[in-house]
Amino acid sequence: MIENQSDNIDIKENDVSNQDNSPEHPSTSEEKLIENDESTPQKTEEINTEELKNTISNNDARLEQLEKEHETLKNQYVRISADFDNFRKRQSRDQDDLKVQLVSKTINAILPIVDNFERARQQLKPESEEAQALHRSYQGLYKQLVEVLKQQGVAPMRVVGQQFDPNLHEAVLREPSEEFKEDFIVEELQRGYHLEGKVLRHALVKVSMGPGQQNSQEEVEKDTVGEGIDSEENTSEDV
């Protein structure tokens, strides 16, 4: 009996000691939980900040790449637009040149008819009433023909009194002239024409050699005559 009581006393003491020590463990675990709760938001915030920096860096790199691609495409568009504009202008010029060539070929075939009308007007001098009526008739046709040429952009050259220009004129004759200086046009032998500012047909002209050439020829003739007279006088004296 005594031993049993002592055992019971020992058990009770152990229980009391366990009860005294047990409150320490809950407090420690709570502190750890509090520390974990405080550190977790900080780590999450650090992770989110790092991810945001990476995202911004990637977006900046992507934006820079897109800007470069945009600049490249813009330059390609400008070059293509310039090439197309040059092509369009070249096509327009080629069409205009082709049109001028076709019109020039056609008008060059008509110009001899115009020349014949002008020669007839200068040479014919109708006297009878019937001849005058005929003259007025073909002069009307001539005016219609000239009007058609004007509508096509044809304009005659005015060359008499102008300085000779090989780009516009073709010299057929050269003669001395007291009225015109050297290399100035004295007479128009065949009329020249412009088409849209370009030479359609060169004018055939007579060009002045200047008054000096005529004077020198007269002096040569005088000298020749004087020498002939002197020789005749000498011959008569000898006889």
pLDDT of residue 29: 52
Domain membership of residue 163 (yes or no) is yes
Q: How far apart are CA 157 and CA 181, in angstroms?
A: 20
Token pair 């409150």: residue:
23
195 DSSP β-pair partners: 154, 198
Does residue 198 fall inside a structural domain?
yes
Is the confidence at residue 41, as pLDDT, over 50? yes
Q: Is the pLDDT of residue 25 over 50?
A: no
On whether the CB atoms of residues 142 and 120 are closer than 8 A, the answer is no
Distances (CA, A) of 217 to 92, 119, 211, 214, 223: 57, 34, 10, 5, 10
**Boundaries of domain holding 198:** 112-122+132-232
Average pLDDT over residues 24-39: 51
Percent of the chain at pLDDT exceeding 90: 24
Q: 183 in helix, strand or coil?
A: coil
Mean per-residue pLDDT over the chain, rounded: 76
* Residue 218 maps to a domain: yes
Q: What is the pLDDT of residues 218-227, one digit of tens each?
A: 454 445 444 4
Residue 116 is assigned to a structural domain of this protein: yes
Q: What is the pLDDT of residues 155-187, one digit of tens each?
A: 999 999 999 999 999 999 999 988 888 999 999
**Which residues neighbour 188 within 8 Å (Cβ) at sequence distance 6 or greater?**
159, 160, 203, 204, 205, 206
CB 210 within 8 A of CB 182: yes
| Gap between the Cα atoms of 48 and 54, Å rounded | 10
Identify whether 34 is part of a domain: no
Q: Into how many domains does the chain fold?
A: 1
Is 105 a domain residue? no
Instruction: Flag whether 81 is in a domain.
Output: no
Whether residue 23 has pLDDT greater than 90: no
Average pLDDT over residues 37-65: 76
Has residue 33 been placed in a domain? no
Give the mean model confidence (pLDDT) for residues 83-95: 90
Enumerate the H helices of the chain as residue ranges: 2-21, 24-123, 129-151, 211-238
Residues forming beta bridges with residue 185, ordered by sequence position = 207
Domain of residue 166, CATH code: 2.30.22.10
